[in-house]
Amino acid sequence: AALRRAVTPEMVSYLSEELADNAQKGLRNEVTDITLLQADVAESWREDDRDYATAALRYESRDVTRERASGKVVA
């Protein structure tokens, strides 16, 4: 529910597909040590009662894919 409040419906669809695909393969994605280095807003607008923005984000993170059963890093 929190994700739906923070991103567009298109992004929710994309991320949901990726999560479902990983689950079907017995995998899970793990992102840790996230640091935002820079954020620049390119544009912003309002549609009905919602605010949107297009932004360029520069960040660092540790992003691994693990087998659900064993926890072994596979990517």
Task: List Cα–Cα distances, 18 to 11, 14, 27, 40, 47, in angstroms.
Answer: 11, 6, 11, 26, 27
**pLDDT per residue over 7-50, tens digit each?**
888 999 999 999 999 999 999 999 999 999 999 999 999 999 98
- Residue 22 belongs to some domain of the structure: yes
In a domain, 74, yes or no: no
User: What residues make up the domain containing 43?
Assistant: 2-64
Query: The pTM is what?
Result: 0.70
Residue 57, domain member (yes or no)? yes
Phi and psi torsions of 22, nearest 5°: -60, -45
69 lies in some domain: no
Domain count, the chain: 1
